[in-house]
Amino acid sequence: MGMRGELLYEGKAKRVYRTEHPDLYLVEFKDDATAFDGLKKGVIAGKGEINAQLSALLFRKLEKEGIATHFVELVGPREMLVKALKILPVEVVVRNIAAGSLSRRLGLAEGTPLRTPVVEFYYKSDELHDPMINEDHIAALDLAGPDEVKEFKARALKINEVLTRLLEPAGLVLVDFKLEFGLHRGRLLLGDEISPDTCRFWDRDTGEKLDKDRFRRDLGGVEEAYASVYERISKVVG
Ligand code: TMP
Ligand code: ASP
């Protein structure tokens, strides 16, 4: 499709282009990977395509479950047409099992189950290294409105339920994940991506990490892990 217009934004893992339609953007998923605020850089061969395809599959599933997303359609192996969003500067993280920064912050061994899902907010700011914030900070800095914050939490928990249920027959445990929301013509939509870059997936039986932690922590088998997640999930999604 010859709809790639002006490059609007280039991030660590994606490029966003205008299209001939003012309401639609084209997202191109890259193989580039960074961690620790870009301090660690690398390439994960095939990642762009896997993350585009997997995100498309999961966005479609979420839409069926009544969660509005920016997804429109795939227009190439790593190219996704989306509704133009003004992304709100809040990252919404949901956790089911302690890992990563939560383990460090609270001194919980990785793998400790959490009694209830935990929703956290982070301020999207590269200069500040995405500090954790709460609803009062969001209001005080006017990062989003009070109704939007309620929606962040409600939708994040619903998405957690849908994804957890979906991953079960794939033999994957959803440890935690990060979401971004944005506004399209005044409507709040789920944006960004849902992929091994933005989720932690562990093998149910072996506990093996099948996500970007393999890259962050130099565990090897990065490409294989991404491919395995895609293969397992695409098999169980009808
Ligand atoms: P954390 O334990 O490092 O705070 O990460 C929580 C979740 O958020 C994990 O699933 C990975 C995801 N995440 C991103 O998508 N982008 C990021 O920049 C970071 C730090 C985490
Ligand atoms: N992508 C982020 C960065 O480059 C962090 C991460 O996913 O670990 O900092």
Is residue 101 lining ligand 2, measured as CB closer than 6 Å?
no
pLDDT confidence of residue 144: 98
- Taking the centre of ligand 1 as the mean of its atom positions, its distance from the CA of residue 21, in whole angstroms, is 32
147: its two tokens: 């109704």
Report if pTM > 0.85: yes
* Distance of alpha carbon 127 from alpha carbon 45, whole angstroms: 28
Is residue 34 lining ligand 2, measured as CB closer than 6 Å?
yes
Question: Stretch 2-21: mean pLDDT, rounded?
Answer: 94
The CATH T-level fold of domain 87-221 is D-amino Acid Aminotransferase; Chain A, domain 1 (3.30.470)
CA distances from 2 to 18, 41, 49, 155, 220 (A): 12, 31, 19, 34, 37
Is residue 124 lining ligand 2, measured as CB closer than 6 Å?
no
Q: Among 135, 225, 189, 150, which residue's Cα sits nearest to residue 25?
A: 189
Question: Stretch 169-191: mean pLDDT, rounded?
Answer: 98
Q: Whole-number mean pLDDT of the chain?
A: 97
pLDDT at 24 over 90: yes
Question: Stretch 104-115: mean pLDDT, rounded?
Answer: 98
Is residue 37 lining ligand 2, measured as CB closer than 6 Å?
yes
pLDDT confidence of residue 3: 82
Question: pLDDT digit string (tens) for 207-223?
Answer: 999 999 999 999 999 99
- Taking the centre of ligand 1 as the mean of its atom positions, its distance from the CA of residue 75, in whole angstroms, is 28
Question: pLDDT digit string (tens) for 52-93?
Answer: 999 999 999 999 999 999 999 999 999 999 999 999 999 999
pLDDT confidence of residue 113: 98
- Taking the centre of ligand 1 as the mean of its atom positions, its distance from the CA of residue 141, in whole angstroms, is 22
Ligand 2 atom closest to the CA of 216, numbered from 1: 8
Share of residues in the chain with pLDDT > 90 (%): 98
pLDDT confidence of residue 2: 53
Domain segments of the chain: what residues?
7-83, 87-221
Residue nearest to ligand 1 atom 20, measured at CA: 36
pLDDT at 1 over 60: no
* Distance of alpha carbon 199 from alpha carbon 166, whole angstroms: 14
CA distances from 50 to 55, 71, 76 (A): 8, 16, 12
pLDDT at 106 over 80: yes
Q: Which CATH class is domain 7-83?
A: alpha beta
Is residue 51 lining ligand 1, measured as CB closer than 6 Å?
no
- Taking the centre of ligand 2 as the mean of its atom positions, its distance from the CA of residue 21, in whole angstroms, is 31
